[in-house]
A = this chain, B = another copy of it.
Amino acid sequence: MKQSHLFTKTKKEVPKDEASKNAQLLIKAGFIYKEMAGVYAYLPLGLRVLEKIKQIVREEMDAIGGQEFIMTAIQRKELWEKTDRWSDDNVDVWFKSALKNGTEIGFGWSHEEPITDLMKQYLTSYRDLPTYVYQFQTKLRNELRAKSGIMRGREFIMKDMYSYSLNAEQHQTFYDAVIEAYLKVFARVGLGDDTYVTFATGGAFTQFSHEFQTITDAGEDVIYVNREKHIAINEEVLSDTVLKELGVTKDELEKVKTAEVGNIFNFGTVKCEQLGLSIVGAEGQSVPVHLGSYGIGITRLMGVIVEHFSDEKGIIWPNEVAPFQVHLVSLCKESEDVAKADALYKQLQTAGVEVLYDDRDARPGEKFADSDLIGIPLRIVISPRSLENNQVEFKYRQSGEETHIFYTDVLTAIQ
């Protein structure tokens, strides 16, 4: 994409009420736009990052047998009454409205209820289990405060997955597979080293539940980690018994601030029983269904990545989620040089390299500052001076490393 064509521009100012680092950087660099607190639009650069993250998650969910579909934002009151989650006393994040005929509706802040109700039409026999479905859904949550940028929104994108299993064992097998798949996701987006499967309180069905927590100062949670053993524990379950079980002592743990980037949850058979989903077992008997739910906040994850990978100059995108692989910055003015820059852009595009081409008529300093702010992993500078030696300059955003590469060797040097 030519930068002269991109309608967004980098900005020096952000809205006064924008306190979070992730939103400040993303607004300045032109990735997002603030509609109101906790409500952000995703501009062309931002949408590219979102789609990259979604595709990584999609691949890992497909790999463990997930089937993608998409539910609705509009929800039926009667379903949520069955599980006692309609009342604002029990769920305090509902946005509600009404149809013309007065029928109350809610806007989806979660989807266990409607998906389980849908499944009553398709899951009837033990042969239909296990079944795993997931969606990328825009969730609407009426949060009292929304001040963590895109890390906690009133409108945000979530990948939510649901497993329907025949028994506790079948449930557990998939639950364990999801833990592995989630760790792959977090590794691929660059957060592997600082993301922990964290032991938390288990609720009614299991000794522990699990959260995925990433170390970041912007986080709202506090956990105890042992970096060497890659073990993490929530404060609420930190007891001598648990420490012994995990083979660590209190002294070996470090207290850190974290953001929850994923959660997995076991509903046992309660939710399906409340909603009337049961199947016919091998002996013709009625069998309750085990439900698990597994979430990754896609926009939240993007926010955590920005909190995690940035410096005083701007964002430093990890390779797999960067909006482009290469930022080709041209300082050329003379038509002969401009032709060489244009030709390199075309060559990279033809080779399937994702390139943002800064072909703007702007000062070098402005171009470099914008490039640092936007944070594409590899910057290639082509200038009259570099072309004197038939060269271009490679500069890596993360390491700051600079090398000179012959114009004709660029493709080889990238791949």
Residues of A within 8 A of B (CB): 5-9, 11, 33, 35-36, 39-44, 46-47, 50, 65, 67-76, 95-97, 99-100, 105, 107, 114, 118-119, 121-123, 128, 131, 133, 138, 140, 142-144, 154-155
A-B contacts, 13 listed (Cβ < 8 Å)? A5-B65, A7-B119, A7-B123, A7-B133, A8-B122, A35-B76, A36-B74, A40-B72, A41-B70, A47-B68, A47-B69, A73-B138, A100-B144
Which residues on the B side are within 8 Å of A133 (C-beta)? 7
Query: Contact check: which of B8, B33, B122, B154 meets A74 at CB < 8 Å?
Result: B154
Closest Cβ–Cβ distance, residue A334 to chain B (whole Å): 22
Complex: A367 Cα to B286 Cα, angstroms:
28
Q: A5-B65, A131-B7, A133-B7 are in contact. Are A41 and B118 (CB under 8 A)?
A: yes
Question: Are A43 and B69 also in contact (CB < 8 A) when A121-B11, A121-B33 are?
Answer: yes
- Give the Cβ gap from A162 to chain B, nearest Cβ, in Å: 11
Q: Is the CB of B69 within 8 A of A42?
A: yes
Contact of A5 among B67, B73, B105 (CB under 8 A): B67
Report how far A36 CA is from B65 CA in the complex, Å: 29
Query: Beyond A35-B75, A74-B154: 7 further Cβ-contacts under 8 Å?
Result: A7-B122, A7-B131, A11-B121, A36-B76, A73-B155, A99-B154, A107-B107
* Chain B, Cβ-Cβ closest to A70: B42
Q: Is the CB of B128 within 8 A of A74?
A: no
Tell whether, in the assembled complex, residue A41 and residue B67 are in contact, meaning their CB atoms are under 8 Å apart: no
* Known contacts A42-B70, A73-B140; A9 and B118 CB within 8 A of each other: no
Bound form: Cα–Cα A154–B121 in Å: 23
Which of B42, B71, B107, B131 is in CB contact (< 8 Å) with A97? B107
B42 touches A74 (CB 8 A): no
Q: CA separation between A70 and B49, bound complex, in Å?
A: 12
**Complex CA distance for A118 and B33, rounded to whole angstroms:** 8
Q: Which residues of B contact A67 (CB under 8 A)?
A: 5-7, 44
What residues on B are CB-neighbors of A44 within 8 Å? 67-69
Question: Nearest chain-B residue to A146 (Cβ)?
Answer: B99
Residues of B contacting A74 with CB < 8 Å? Answer: 35-36, 39, 140, 154-155
Q: Which B residues are in CB contact (< 8 Å) with A118?
A: 33, 41
- Whole-angstrom distance from the CB of A198 to the nearest CB of chain B? 29
Query: CA separation between A143 and B114, bound complex, in Å?
Result: 22
Contact between A35 and B114, CB atoms less than 8 A apart: yes
Closest-CB distance, A51 to chain B (whole angstroms): 9
The CA of A114 and the CA of B43, in the complex, are separated in Å by: 13
A128: nearest chain-B partner, CB-CB? B7
Nearest Cβ in chain B — how far from A88, in angstroms?
10
Cα–Cα distance between A154 and B76 once the two chains are bound (Å): 13
Chain B proximity of A39: nearest CB distance (Å): 5
Q: What B residues does A140 contact at CB under 8 A?
A: 73-74
> Does B95 lie within 8 Å of A97, measured CB to CB?
yes
CA distance A2 to B69 in the complex (A): 16
Rounded to whole Å, the gap between the CB of A138 and the closest CB of chain B is: 6
Could you tell me the distance between the alpha carbons of A100 and B155 in the complex, rounded to whole angstroms? 14
Q: Which residues of the other chain, B, contact A100 by a CB distance below 8 angstroms?
A: 142-144
Q: How far is the CB of A337 from chain B (nearest CB, A)?
A: 22
Q: How far is the CA of A123 from the CA of B118 in the complex (A)?
A: 46
Residues of B within 8 A of A69 (CB): 41-44, 46-47
Cβ contact within 8 Å between A9 and B122: yes
**Distance (Å) between the CB of A11 and the closest chain B CB?**
7
A75–B35 Cα distance when bound, in Å, is 8
- Nearest residue, chain B, Cβ from A50: B70
Identify which of A6, A99, A131 gathers the most chain B CB atoms within 10 Å of its CB.
Answer: A99
